[in-house]
Structure 1
């Protein structure tokens, strides 16, 4: 087997798929998931992990933190990074298709579930059906990417039970369709803190420190006090990738956060 053969588009999509869903510190040829998928691709684990490290050098959130990944990113890597950030929905869908093809799994179209449980995918036709599928796949991928960026821990409390974690949108889903699936528009929060963030009861300042609304601070409920007040003014745990966009956080503070009772 030669390791110098060119990467196909599907293989590169798989590498991006893994990069997005793997915490930065676990990009390693010893990672069992990388080992298994590399074998199916006909590549060594070192080849796949090195490609992921090359992709990291295209990631502004990695380079801005002083980490560099590897410096060997190819032109195709950089072009695919730009393709991804221009259209997250289509990219997530295509990457999922490539991953499932290599792993001989069902395609995203076959496994997608209609977001509205009262409707079946058979009720849709043509472009409408495809759009519904892409939306569902995108939602699944957004959650996977955001949670992995925060190492599957609430960035406020450190809760690490996946069933209790939400990929919370900073700018709400309905307000900016182009940024719905951008991981930099996401925070990993516990279900309680996600609800509070969504309703503007908490926010983050420009230093990524927790802000509490007077509605919470003036509450006499001991459970609420214990769930929020110990974290006031403390910085969140930063993600390893996809840092929250300051512009999105400013929008949350100015348009959603309740500054008064």
Structure 2
């Protein structure tokens, strides 16, 4: 297998694994890596090595002094470049291929379509209809793993209280709906505050607090969670750095100032 060339399809699957795992999990002993290696008819060490080649292309990794493994191939660079330039197209494809390989559909975020059903005020159970957003589950996994499943503002680490929040809202930018660099891992309350423009981030990811929220600083929870953190840098992701263009859009269009 030493001379077995990697294909573009295989690299897409490995990129899906990269989205799911933290940098510290890129080891041949990791269960997901072992499962993928078995199905690709490769060794776990070769898959782990390819993952660290991909990591060497991620500016979020290299900017912190970590290098991954040098020697990324021309095809590695092409796949990374294609993915980075067009996540809206590639995220659903990568998610589908990884799920097909593993036989695992995962837990998907859904879009409720119950409004299409007749209104029933009786309180009886009714059948709900849901539409799956392709690629949304992998987007969520990529954002969570980038921030090690911690809110980047409050440091809350219970995944039941966390959301893969969009910097530039879903409805505002079709091309970057699934871009991990358009995502922040936030607690439910921080996500709501961010969506409402009550907080924002500078280009250097420093927390900005609106005057509307500062006016409520007499509330201990508001003060401790937001006002006391003004000017501090968020917990930075270990991959998929927030895109400055999206942060600027949020400040200019949503932030209350």
> Shared fold by TM > 0.5?
yes
- The corresponding residue for 1:37 is 36
Q: 2:211 aligns with which of 206, 209, 214?
A: 214
Superposed, 1:159-238 pairs within 5 Å as 159-219=156-216, 220-238=218-236
Three-state SS of the structure 1 residue aligned to 2:112 is coil
Give the C-alpha shift of residue 45 in structure 1: 1.2
Give the C-alpha shift of residue 39 in structure 1: 2.0
| CA offsets 1:209-252 (integer angstroms, 9 cap, x no match) | 21111111111433322322232222111100011111211121
8 Å Cα contact 2:140/2:164 also seen in 1: yes
- The corresponding residue for 1:89 is 88
8 Å Cα contact 1:21/1:148 also seen in 2: yes
8 Å Cα contact 1:153/1:161 also seen in 2: yes
Distance 2:47 2:227 in 1: 44
Give the C-alpha shift of residue 89 in structure 1: 2.6
Q: Does 1:242 align with 2:253?
A: no
Three-state SS of the structure 2 residue aligned to 1:239 is coil
Superposed, 1:120-135 pairs within 5 Å as none
Calculate the TM-score normalised by the size of structure 2: 0.86
Three-state SS of the structure 1 residue aligned to 2:231 is coil
**Runs of at least 5 residues in structure 2 that lack an aligned partner in the other structure:** 117-130
Q: How many residues align?
A: 242
Moved more, 17-26 or 149-158: 17-26
- The corresponding residue for 1:149 is 146
Q: From the superposition, tell whether residues 242 and 113 of structure 1 become closer, same or farther in structure 2 (CA, over 3 Å).
A: closer
Calculate the TM-score normalised by the size of structure 1: 0.85
Distance 1:112 1:230 in 2: 35
Distance 1:190 1:158 in 2: 8
- The corresponding residue for 1:19 is 18
Q: From the superposition, tell whether residues 113 and 23 of structure 1 become closer, same or farther in structure 2 (CA, over 3 Å).
A: closer
Three-state SS of the structure 2 residue aligned to 1:137 is coil
Root mean square deviation of aligned Cα: 2.1
Distance 1:101 1:185 in 2: 26
8 Å Cα contact 1:11/1:98 also seen in 2: no
Distance 2:98 2:74 in 1: 22
Three-state SS of the structure 2 residue aligned to 1:69 is coil
Distance 1:180 1:105 in 2: 23
- The corresponding residue for 2:121 is none
8 Å Cα contact 2:109/2:136 also seen in 1: no
Give the C-alpha shift of residue 182 in structure 1: 1.1
**Runs of at least 5 residues in structure 1 that lack an aligned partner in the other structure:** 121-131
